[in-house]
Amino acid sequence: MKFRSVTFDLDGTLLDTVCDLAEACRLTLLELGLAPRSEDEIRRFVGRGMAVLVERCLTREAPPDAAQLDAAIAVFRRHYAAVNGLKAQFFPGVREGLAAWAATGLPLAVVTNKPAAFTGPLLERVGIAHYFQSIVSGDTTAQRKPHPAPLLHACAELGADVASNLHIGDSRHDIETARNAGCAVYCVPYGYNEGEPVNAADCDALVADLLVALRLAGDA
């Protein structure tokens, strides 16, 4: 296998977290006296971090001003802390895939735009935190994906050359992150990607699940 480390996106790649996010958004909008959003809308809003998710929930005719957005984010954080991981589901093949990747002995990391206050507790709650030697959240570095900084930070913590890293994600943001950092990227087709299907031509491989990714990486 030519890869020496593997980094994984979280929401939409390892876990389907939309139910938890949708509930936190529902409670936030209810508390603010605003109209609710559907789960399908929330699924399309996910991908660029918590602040963008909340902003999209608030935006109808016009986006909120900075003070409104900050206040709404504080409300959302409180509600999401209470529901984070309660209804999150593994995508097919993730449990088996993570175990198989870990068995290779390669160092593994999570690189997500989710804030650190929620990333660690989520991974612990669903029982997969032990697989990762590095966890890079949306506020670990000064920039978030698709900036290369989070992925570069993860590889540094893993002691791996980014050029020999494989990143696995579900969206164009993961593709851009990997390209910006200078590593290979596989994508799964079942994630969020803001409502748009991932184009196989834009990544190094479109894989059905993490086990397929491992088999393909072994043949690389």
Active-site amino acid positions: 9
DSSP state of 194: G
Provide the 3-class DSSP secondary structure of residue 11: strand
How many residues make up the chain in this entry?
220
135-163 b/e with 16+ CB inside 10 Å = b?
bbbbbbbeebbbbbbbbbbbbebbebebe
Q: How many Cα neighbours within 13 Å face the side chain of 8?
A: 31
Residue where the block lists tokens 């093949």: 93
Q: Distance between alpha carbon 76 and the CA centroid of its chain, in Å?
A: 18
Instruction: Give the torsion sign (CA, 155, 180, 41, 137).
Output: positive
Residue 160 near residue 4, CB atoms below 8 Å? yes
5-8: strand order across its sheet: 134-136, 108-111, 5-8, 165-169, 184-187, 205-206
- By CB atoms closer than 10 A (0-12, 13-18, 19+), residue 40 is exposed
